[in-house]
Amino acid sequence: MKESELQYIDLFEQTRQMICEHSSKVMNDVRDEAFRRFKAQGFPSQKVERYKYTNIQKLFAPDYGLNLNRLTIPVDPYQAFRCDVPNLSTSLYFVVNDAFFAQALPTPLRGGGGALPEGVIIGSLKEFASAKYYNQLAGKADDAVTDLNTMLAQDGLYVYVPKNVKVDRAVQVINILRSDVDLMVNRRVLIILEAGAELKMLFCDHAADDKNFLATQVIEAYVGEGATLNLYCLEETHNKNVRVSNVYIDQQRDSRVNHNVITLHNGITRNKLDLTFSGEGAECQCYGCVIADKQQHVDNNTLIVHKAPHCTSNELYKYVLDDKATGAFAGRVLVEPGAQKTTSQMTNQNLTATKEARMYTQPMLEIYADDVKCAHGSTVGQLNDAALFYMRQRGISLNEAKLLLQNAFINEVIDHIQLEPLRDRLHYLVEKRFRGELNKCEGCKLCR
Amino acid sequence: MLEVRNLHARIGDKEILKGIDLVINDGETHAIMGPNGSGKSTLSAVLVGNPLYEVTEGEAHFNGKDLLAMKPEERAHEGLFLSFQYPVEIPGVSMTNFMKAAINERRKAQGLEPMKTADFIKMMREKRKIVELDQKLANRSVNEGFSGGEKKRNEIFQMAMLEPRLAILDETDSGLDVDAMRIVAEGVNKLMTSETSCIVITHYDRLLEMIRPQFVHILYQGRIVKTGGPELAVEIQEKGYDWIKQSPLS
């Protein structure tokens, strides 16, 4: 056992009571089991296949503070979060560090529109979580970071949409990191869509202080029969931010999921997506885009399990890496016996702008059924010289030409976003990012 | 306008241009003909600064400035335009954004403010008519999914937008049907003034019947071996190049 694990084991043993006091029975009931697994296994080394490209032990080694006693942190979320999306009317919620921020709730639109439909719940996880769903996907995941999150998470966000209810207005959740000392936060999200429900969710990560942050995040989403979930995760933080996010999605028959994970600015990011088709005829579209420079590191790891027949999965991940940034994409599609008529497509395309930038890409297919259509592919390369020269001949400077081509490359992912104002905003943000101007946010000021 | 003296250039270890001399004055149209592999496309590529080619000897001046010292984009700002033999497809970059960037980058180089969007759109609409380019094509990504003829018309559309002082048409007629060639030629003719000049690189005299050059040069083995009037193009069409190959320095 290494120091990095021991400090969390000691922490949990010493503060277990305090952790539990500020949480709820449902969340407390699963802590010991997670702790037992964590203690037995510790953090994965890079010899563990799914953590090959990110050194988890190193990331968790520093000494971060935790707010286990749930001290109130002074914050005005509307001040801390200035980078909103123009023209995007959302139901806006805040999670400050890892706690649901109940003081700032969305106001219904004038004229009574915009209120959540009846029966929809968006609130504090510790208040609403039920044992029927909480930790049911994450508890089986065999992932030390998920177990650590389960041990330490005291609150989070709970989202429930009843049967056949369509939530028209997008639900936007701003995760704000706010602290005067280096801080570890353990965010937890539980999303439940009953049969036929529809929900569009947008998570935005922001850091309001230039402290070192370590955020673990576990999102569990249950997508019922014929339900549709659009899940957008936008990360726009700073160089001192470490994020380890694990997303678990279970799809029932004929359900649809669009998952879009966008890393615009970060320090070290590790995103895992585990998605399982439990029922026939379901479909998922998973998109990811990454823009990284300096010494930033972004690792997307996906596993899509086709348990049921007639399901369709499509993945497209695109990276632009500059300076000494490193990127990794490891995607695995597992087609189980009997999952006939599976259609699966996985694509990972990457641009490396310098000789020092590194991309690790590993698309994997594992097929145990004999009537399926699966494809996977990946590319790593540079901008097209012929296109660059063509543009220069028309008077476009080399820098501007590169910018246009990089934008075009990333926009293939952005264009799949179904919230039009968010799409427009991301086009704008991506361009700013490539121009090196994305440091107007409070949290990004140190990245200049 | 353009003065080329003893220009030598190579790609890799292969010397292609072996001493080109060429003077083009305001308002002149020159045709350059020659058998395959004689260096016609290389000459156009070197003039616009394609980094694949290396100039080993000689000089070139454009509007009195040292052309070879300028970056490709600076040459464009100075008014040099190449209609590419093989226009490049640029997926994801719309024609509108592409042209807007081209025009505003030049305006920036000239110390001007970016063009107003309304003016730009009006300009796009007017210039599109010159080569009968469909609105739908203008809304698409640069050259993506364009037919061969549409790509060539799109080159002339860009020429119309950028109003160059010297346009080089590199086999703009290749792959065009009769109607498309007429549209292209008429487009070019509309854009020519007493202050603009044109170099037409072609294999056939058909385009030259529509764009009437004052001078025809024959390029062979990296040198201009013969210069004459429009009648030279007709002669080539009838007799081929063998008679020139046999007495290359005639």
Average pLDDT, chain B: 92
Provide the CA A75 distance to its chain's centre, in angstroms: 24
pLDDT given for residue A80 in this prediction: 60
Inform me whether the pLDDT recorded for A440 exceeds 80. no
| Other beta carbons less than 10 A from residue B118's beta carbon | 8
pTM: 0.88
Cβ-based interface (< 8 Å): residues of B facing A = 48-51, 71-73, 75-77, 81-82, 84, 87-93, 97-98, 101-103, 105-106, 109, 141, 158, 162
pLDDT given for residue A152 in this prediction: 96
Number of H helices, E strands in chain A: 10, 19
In Å, how far is B162's CA from the nearest CA of chain A?
A: 8
Which has the minimum average pLDDT: A97-101, A368-372, B216-220? A97-101
Distance between CA B202 and CA A116 in Å, rounded?
68
Residue A243 banded pLDDT, cuts 50, 70, 90: very high
Best to test chain A binding among B41, B48, B80, B90 (most A CBs inside 10 Å): B90
pLDDT, average across residues B11-28: 94
Task: Find chain B residues with C-beta within 8 A of A397's C-beta.
Answer: 73, 105
∠ CA(A351), CA(A352), CA(A357), 5° rounding? Answer: 150
Give me the percent of chain B exceeding a pLDDT of 70. Answer: 98
Cβ-contact A157, A37 below 8 angstroms: no
Residue recorded with tokens 């998922």:
A284
pLDDT given for residue A210 in this prediction: 86
Closest CA to A283 of A292, A275, A272: A275
pLDDT given for residue B249 in this prediction: 54
Q: Is the dihedral of CA B182, B184, B186, B192 positive or negative?
A: negative
Residues 6+ apart with CB under 8 A from A359: A319, A321, A326, A327, A328, A329, A350, A352, A380
Inform me whether the pLDDT recorded for A112 exceeds 80. no
**What confidence tens digit (pLDDT) does each residue in B37-67 have?**
899 999 999 999 999 999 999 999 999 999 9
Residue A86 banded pLDDT, cuts 50, 70, 90: low
**What confidence tens digit (pLDDT) does each residue in B103-131 have?**
999 999 999 999 999 999 999 999 998 88
Choose between B12 and A70: higher pLDDT. Answer: B12
Amino acid at residue number B187:
G
Containing A316, the helix (H) or strand (E) segment is strand A312-321
Choose between B68 and A440: higher pLDDT. Answer: B68
Residue B250 banded pLDDT, cuts 50, 70, 90: very low
Number of H helices, E strands in chain B: 10, 12
pLDDT, average across residues A235-247: 91
Closest CA to B223 of B245, B238, B197: B245
Residue A443 banded pLDDT, cuts 50, 70, 90: very low
Residue A402 DSSP symbol: H
Residue recorded with tokens 């966000």:
A157
pLDDT given for residue A425 in this prediction: 86
In Å, how far is B181's CA from the nearest CA of chain A?
A: 23
* Secondary structure class of A448 (helix, strand, coil): coil
pLDDT given for residue B248 in this prediction: 52
pLDDT given for residue B240 in this prediction: 87
**How would you class B237 by CB atoms within 10 Å of its CB: exposed for 0-12, middle for 13-18, buried for 19 or more?**
middle
Cβ-contact A137, A250 below 8 angstroms: yes
Residue A108 banded pLDDT, cuts 50, 70, 90: low
Its ipTM equals 0.96
DSSP-derived pairing of the beta strands A256-265 and A228-236: parallel
pLDDT given for residue A441 in this prediction: 47
In Å, how far is A406's CA from the nearest CA of chain B?
A: 9
**What confidence tens digit (pLDDT) does each residue in A252-306 have?**
999 999 999 999 988 999 999 999 999 999 999 999 999 999 999 999 999 999 9
Which has the minimum average pLDDT: A64-68, A78-82, A187-191, B174-178? A78-82
pLDDT given for residue B23 in this prediction: 96
- CATH architecture for the domain at B2-246: 3-Layer(aba) Sandwich (3.40)
pLDDT given for residue A448 in this prediction: 34
Inform me whether the pLDDT recorded for A209 exceeds 90. no
Residue A114 DSSP symbol: T
Give me the percent of chain A exceeding a pLDDT of 90. Answer: 73
Task: Find chain A residues with C-beta within 8 A of B98's C-beta.
Answer: 391, 394, 396, 404
Inform me whether the pLDDT recorded for A394 exceeds 60. yes
Q: What is the C-alpha radius of gyration for chain A, rounded to an integer number of angstroms?
A: 21
* Secondary structure class of A319 (helix, strand, coil): strand
Distance between CA A328 and CA A319 in Å, rounded?
9
pLDDT given for residue A1 in this prediction: 67
Contact check, Cβ <8 Å, B90/A409: no
> What's the number of CA atoms in the CB half-sphere (13 Å) around residue A379?
9
Residue A442 banded pLDDT, cuts 50, 70, 90: very low
Residue A84 banded pLDDT, cuts 50, 70, 90: low
